[in-house]
A and B are shown apart, each in its own frame.
Chain A
Amino acid sequence: MHAFINFIMGPMVWISFLIFFLGVIFRLYKMFRLVNKTENFIYSYMSWKYSLRSIFAWLTPFLPVSTRKRPVFWGVSYVFHVLLFLLPIFLLSHVVLFEESMQWSWFSLSDSVADILTIFVILALIFFAIRRITIPEVKFLTRMSDFLFILIAALPFITGFLAYHQFFAYQYLLIAHVISGELMLILIPFTRFFHMFMAPFTRAYMGSEFGNVRHAKDW
Chain B
Amino acid sequence: MKLKKCIYIVITILFVTAFYTYSQEDSHPTIDNTVFENPQRTQALFDHDSHNEKAELEDDCSICHHVYENKKLIKDESSEDSLCSECHFLKATPENSVPLRMAFHNRCKECHFESNKGPVLCGECHIRK
- A interface residues, Cβ below 8 angstroms from B: 1-3, 5-6, 92-93, 96, 99-100, 103, 110-111, 163-166, 168, 170-171, 174
Chain B residues with CB under 8 Å of A92's CB are 40
User: B69 → chain A, closest Cβ, in Å?
Assistant: 21
Of B105, B123, B124, which is within 8 A of A96 by CB? Answer: B105
User: A194 → chain B, closest Cβ, in Å?
Assistant: 31
Docked CA distance A13–B85 (Å): 31
In the bound complex, do residue A2 and residue B112 qualify as a contact, i.e. CB atoms below 8 Å apart? yes
Q: How many A-B residue pairs have CB under 8 A?
A: 39
User: A207 → chain B, closest Cβ, in Å?
Assistant: 44
In the bound complex, do residue B117 and residue A96 qualify as a contact, i.e. CB atoms below 8 Å apart? no
User: A26 → chain B, closest Cβ, in Å?
Assistant: 34
B106 within 8 A of partner (CB): yes
In the bound complex, do residue A170 and residue B124 qualify as a contact, i.e. CB atoms below 8 Å apart? yes
User: B123 → chain A, closest Cβ, in Å?
Assistant: 5
User: A174 → chain B, closest Cβ, in Å?
Assistant: 5
Docked CA distance A5–B117 (Å): 12
Nearest-CB residue, chain B, relative to A103 = B97
- B interface residues, Cβ below 8 angstroms from A: 17, 38, 40-41, 97, 101-102, 105-106, 112-113, 116-117, 120-124, 127-128
Given A2-B113, A92-B40, A103-B97, verify A170-B123 contact (CB < 8 Å): yes
In the bound complex, do residue A166 and residue B120 qualify as a contact, i.e. CB atoms below 8 Å apart? no
Most buried by B among A1, A3, A6: A6
In the bound complex, do residue B116 and residue A2 qualify as a contact, i.e. CB atoms below 8 Å apart? yes
In the bound complex, do residue A93 and residue B105 qualify as a contact, i.e. CB atoms below 8 Å apart? no
In the bound complex, do residue B116 and residue A93 qualify as a contact, i.e. CB atoms below 8 Å apart? no
Chain A residues with CB under 8 Å of B17's CB are 168
Given A93-B122, A110-B40, A166-B127, verify A100-B116 contact (CB < 8 Å): no
Q: List 27 contacting pairs A-B, 8 Å CB cutoff, sorted by A.
A: A1-B116, A2-B112, A2-B116, A2-B117, A2-B120, A3-B116, A5-B120, A6-B113, A92-B40, A100-B102, A100-B105, A100-B106, A110-B38, A110-B40, A111-B40, A111-B41, A163-B123, A164-B123, A165-B128, A166-B128, A168-B17, A170-B123, A170-B124, A171-B121, A171-B124, A174-B121, A174-B122
Docked CA distance A164–B41 (Å): 10
Chain A residues with CB under 8 Å of B127's CB are 166
Docked CA distance A5–B106 (Å): 15
Chain B residues with CB under 8 Å of A3's CB are 116
In the bound complex, do residue A174 and residue B123 qualify as a contact, i.e. CB atoms below 8 Å apart? yes
In the bound complex, do residue A5 and residue B121 qualify as a contact, i.e. CB atoms below 8 Å apart? yes
Docked CA distance A100–B106 (Å): 7
Chain A residues with CB under 8 Å of B123's CB are 163-164, 166, 170, 174
Docked CA distance A92–B101 (Å): 12
Nearest-CB residue, chain B, relative to A168 = B17
